[in-house]
Amino acid sequence: MEITIHGEGTIVVRFINKKGQTLLEERLAVSDSPTVQAKRIVPVELETTKGTVPVAPVLIQQSHDGQRVTFDGKDPAAWTRERCRKIGCLRTVVEDAGRGSAPAMTRKQLGAFLSDGSDIRRLRGREE
């Protein structure tokens, strides 16, 4: 599946299984100008200890409204809802994912940690 970003900024995408659990998180940032475009190929299946698991990418965050994001050329919310239904998500999971909501990984799920920039936001006095 191809994610396209039109315009500079950062997006966060979480990949959930049919139970709504996040198995992979990706942050993609692109910088230069409003005319820059970025493309990223992402998986829709992951190999796990329980076998091959289909996942649905959920757009959790984008930098600003001027930045346009598409999943395979379509609106991310619509694409995510369709994918969630296809992999057998519960209705509540479909609705949450369609609203751009998916749980952050728990400490137990994380083997390691990279700063996501919250320290920088604190320095700017805009802790989120």
Partner 1 sequence: MARGSIMLGIEVVQTVSSGVLTIQEIWTVALEPLDGEKTTVREIDAEKVQILSGSTLGEFETSSEVSLTDVFLVLPEDRRPLKVLHGPSHVSSPQFDGATMVILRVRDMGYAVPSPGKLTITRGSHAHTYVDEIA
Of 49-57, 70-78, 88-96, 118-126, which part binds partner 1 (CB under 8 A)?
Answer: 49-57
Amino acid at 13: V
CA distances from 5 to 1, 40, 47, 112 (A): 13, 9, 27, 27
Of the residues 23, 54, 61, 82, which one makes contact with partner 1 according to CB under 8 A = 23
Residue 62 exposed, middle or buried by CB count within 10 Å (0-12, 13-18, 19+): buried
Give me the phi and psi of 120, to 5 degrees please.
-70, -40
Report if residue 87 touches partner 1, rule: CB under 8 A. no
Report if residue 73 touches partner 1, rule: CB under 8 A. no
Of 67-75, 85-93, 108-116, 118-126, which part binds partner 1 (CB under 8 A)?
Answer: 108-116
Residue ranges in contact with partner 1 by CB under 8 A: 21-33, 35-43, 46-51, 105, 108-114, 116
